[in-house]
Amino acid sequence: MIVITTPTGHIGRQVVDRVLDGGEAVRVIVRDPSRLSAHVRRQAEVVQGSHGDADTITKALEGADRMFWLVPPAGFRDADSARRYYLDFTRSACQEAASRGVRMVGVTSLGRGYQGEAGLLSAALAMDELIEASGVPYRALALPFFMENLLLQASAIKEQGTFSMANAADRPLPTVATRDVAAAAAALLLDTSWSGQVRVPLAGPDNLTPDAMAEVISDTVGRTVRYRQVPLADFQAAMVRRGASPALAQDMADMVEAQNNGIYDAEPGNPGSVTATGFRQWCQDNLKPAARPHPATGR
């Protein structure tokens, strides 16, 4: 039995589909079962609740031997620190998995070995240490910046011809597509031969700066798109104005500063770390449809 968390999220829903296609018995943990697709509701067992809750995770892991683990971002907004949120959310799951001999495949950040505070990325790396200390067999999918983050900029790309972040315009920013993460996670979940604890760095074949991303986006969507670097202090203040706690805004700012300082370079990859989806292909498949002008208005 394979337990899958976040089955309605960007990565989790793709993991569910791939594992179901592999013919394995699947159990999902979800707060709102109505958000599951019809075929998942038909084929998978459903445990309703939060996978950060001790009773829910105990119920979900009954008779299971493998689990896909991802800490959801939903609780970040009100958390007093990302590190505490990650550790509190994960503690019961790794203890229960260790006691039952359940192997975990988890989503975490690339950058182990970075010397400095990295906000949300430091929180994810601290989560890895907690899981590893429990003794559970673990494969940590260590990831850089998600290409899908740029979908949040689709309206600005379409309407203004810009996208904006606080990342340095001329600093290469490794990226990865969620479909490649899901493929790697599903392959590990379906493989019953591994043991021990290993990190699995994953990154796409490109290593583009945001300015270079803008050139690729321009070519793909057929109009000039420019990158606008937002000062880090302005980025942090804007998060607070939108309702983020000061602690979360600081964690997000620390994450971007660490990205600008090369946190992803701290953890070496290997030939097997390079994923299939290049940035141009991802833009063609995902960003171009999202940024396409409306046929009636041309906007």
Mean model confidence pLDDT for the chain? 92
Per DSSP, the three-state class of 287 is helix
Q: Percent of the chain, pLDDT > 90?
A: 83
Q: Residue 90: pLDDT band by 50, 70, 90 thresholds?
A: very high
- pLDDT tens per residue across span 50-66: 898 899 999 999 999 99
The reported pLDDT for the residue numbered 75 is: 60
Give helix then strand counts, H and E, for the chain. Answer: 12, 11
The reported pLDDT for the residue numbered 244 is: 81
Structure tokens at 89: 């959310």
The reported pLDDT for the residue numbered 55 is: 94
Assess whether pLDDT exceeds 50 at residue 296. Answer: no
Q: Residue 297: pLDDT band by 50, 70, 90 thresholds?
A: very low
Q: Residue 74: pLDDT band by 50, 70, 90 thresholds?
A: low
- pLDDT tens per residue across span 181-194: 999 999 999 999 99
Q: Residue 165: pLDDT band by 50, 70, 90 thresholds?
A: very high
Assess whether pLDDT exceeds 70 at residue 78. Answer: no
Q: Is the pTM of this model over 0.85?
A: yes
- pLDDT tens per residue across span 192-238: 999 999 999 999 999 999 999 999 999 999 999 999 999 999 999 99
- pLDDT tens per residue across span 20-41: 999 899 999 999 999 999 999 9
Distances 47 to 93, 100, 178 between C-alpha atoms, Å: 14, 18, 24
- pLDDT tens per residue across span 112-143: 999 999 999 999 999 999 999 999 999 999 99
Q: Percent of the chain, pLDDT > 70?
A: 96
Distance CA 29, CA 69 (A): 11
Q: Which CATH class is domain 2-146+177-201?
A: alpha beta
